[in-house]
A and B are shown apart, each in its own frame.
Chain A
Amino acid sequence: MTTRGKRAAETLYDKPLSSKGKLEVNLSTYAFLFSEIVQYSHGRVTSLSQLHEKLSDLGKHAGFRMIDVLCLREKTPKRETRLVNHLLYIQKTLWKTLFYKEADRLEQATASESTFYLFEDDPVVNRFISVPKDQSSLNCAAFVAGIIEGFLNGTQFVSYSQHQLQITYWSFP
């Protein structure tokens, strides 16, 4: 096996994504890929809410995979079990890994104790997207909401009671 490894030339696919080892992806590359994702989903749905759902589903896949990535890179192997701490972990560590900055604010709703709001004023995914006026309620950050949902589902924070784990997203001007 080792001699075979030495003989086989290292192709482009064997090399890591970033040769410097910095775990960064070019923003333009990402933006083009995300634009294609939105176009692909847009062509296969009939309503805006379906588009939000599709984007959020794709985000769930990404969020689920982030769990293992983060656990691998974390120094402390301790897992958060309390809800508030886990949400803070999302706000700080998950966001830092994904977007190189922390989410803006995490607040608890005054009305109910089990509702939390995670604010993101200028999502990176939306930076290059100008939504046309006739679809102004579209927010492509549904993808990011899907990531959070996938992450929470994968870390066993799915509620078993009647209350649904609901992720909603607002856009801020």
Chain B
Amino acid sequence: MGIISVYIVSKAGGLIFSHDQPNTSAEVEATFNCPLGLVLEEVDRQVVVKYGEKHGIQVGYSLVALNGQPVANRCIPDGTSAMTVLTNPENYPVSLKFARLRVSINERIMLLSMFHSIYAISVKLSPAKHSSGIQCLEADSFKFYCFQTITGVKFIVVADNKQQKVEDLLKRIYELYADFVLKNPFYSLDMPIRCEHFSTNLTRFIEEN
């Protein structure tokens, strides 16, 4: 898997770039008989597993497809709500596909500004003078690396445990930023990055590693 996502946070704390590697979200498809065994609820235009665990599907997974038809905005393509289909015992056995959907962009902006504040707190709490902030947050299945440049821009990479030399990757991403974003006359500082060359080169670079 390697690198899962790349984020760039401006010096004010706002997210200016986010990139996720495709094919890194877990998808499970299984056939279910009545009763379902999972408790589903509608949250934020999604049908989400609230309680229960079956066939590798855990709490937090969203319903992506029902009997092969994609589920969008809690409904299947012909307009009927997915929940009504599932509460009717006549429709069983039914084939359902669940996936852990990515965090929405607004939530991401909020979470990364929170991280920006936590980073500032860690600098203040440090016993050594002129210390850097958080460089790596370790969890059981992933590591969260952060590199702050002298100008205050933070480069964040979420990688799995197997990925090596993420510090070098962060420096190289900084180089790509300096090349394709800062030399672009149509980019204003601290604005969201919408530069084609940067996105293409970054994707290519991540794929190579």
Binding site for B on A (CB under 8 A): 28, 31-32, 34-36, 38-39, 42, 127-132, 135, 140
Contact = CB atoms under 8 A, between A and B. Distances in A.
B180 interface: yes
Given A35-B184, A36-B185, A39-B185, A128 B194 contact: no
Contact of B196 (A34, A38, A39, A130): A130
Interface residues of B, number: 13
A36 B187 CA distance: 11
B195 interface: yes
A29 B195 CA distance: 20
Contact of B185 (A28, A42, A127): A42
7 contacts: A32-B183, A35-B183, A42-B185, A129-B185, A130-B198, A135-B186, A140-B185
Contacts of B180: 128, 130
Contacts of A140: 185
B207 interface: no
A128 to B, nearest CB: 4
B179 interface: yes
Contacts of B196: 130
B162 interface: no
B197 interface: yes
Nearest to A129: B184
Contacts, number: 39
A86 to B, nearest CB: 32
A15 to B, nearest CB: 26
A121 to B, nearest CB: 16
Contacts of B182: 32
Contacts of A127: 197
Contacts of A42: 185
Interface in B151-209: 178-180, 182-186, 194-198
A35 B194 contact: no
A130 B193 CA distance: 11
A109 B179 CA distance: 37
B36 to A, nearest CB: 45
Nearest to A127: B197
Contacts of B178: 28
Contact of B195 (A39, A130, A135): A130
B106 to A, nearest CB: 23
Contacts of A131: 186
A130 B179 contact: no
Nearest to B199: A130
Contacts of A130: 180, 184, 186, 194-198
B186 A28 contact: no
A59 B196 CA distance: 26
Contacts of B184: 35, 128-130
A128 B186 contact: no
Contacts of A128: 179-180, 183-184, 197
**Considering residues A32, A39, A127, A130, which has the most beta carbons from chain B within 10 angstroms of its beta carbon?**
A130
